[in-house]
Amino acid sequence: MLTAILTIILFCIMIIPHELGHFVVAKLVGVQVNEFSMGMGPLLFQKQKGETLYSVRLLPIGGYCAMEGENEESGNPRAFNNKKVWQKIAVLLAGAVMNVITALLVMIIAVTVSGIPTNTLDSVVKNSPAEAAGLRAGDRVVAVNEVKTSGWMEVVQEIDRDKSGKEIRITVDRDGKKQNCTV
């Protein structure tokens, strides 16, 4: 059930900005937008505001921005088919551009929330080998088995590289001083 809910949320995160991109640029270049819909299938809710009908439909797996003259010829000077080529291209590209912007924003939010791994220890588990070796929260790992490390992935790789099953020598920077610990 959770997977279905997360899938619906993902569709909404992708579709709403995409269709909104088409809608905003269409309005900016003077295209008449007849309907802006979130979802597909049977109608749940609609509201007419100006020339545009805004609707929400039952199935949250799509959406559309129905513009005058988009799929047929129209004599309306504000119809999509009567706009200049650059305006048509701008309207069509706006959806894809919004997808790229949305992806960047989602990645920025994800990194901000989860953080970027560093070689500074946030915490040390009680009664763990790390605690027994004297490692503390705030220590910055600068070397593993005499191999310098500058990021968390290097720390993990060096620890993983040691297949001896014996002690590992960890060098940390603690308050500006180098300390050696054996784990």
Of 19, 68, 70, 158, which is the active-site residue?
19
Instruction: Clarify whether 19 is annotated catalytic.
Output: yes
Among residues 155, 134, 133, 153, which one has the least CA distance to residue 145?
155
Report the half-sphere exposure of 15 (CA within 13 A, side-chain side).
Answer: 19
Hey, what are 44's tokens?
């749940």
3-state helix, strand, coil in the chain (%, to 5): 40, 30, 30
Within 10 Å of residue 178's Cβ, how many Cβ atoms? Answer: 10
Among residues 60, 17, 19, which one has the least CA distance to residue 36?
19
Catalytic positions, written as ranges: 19
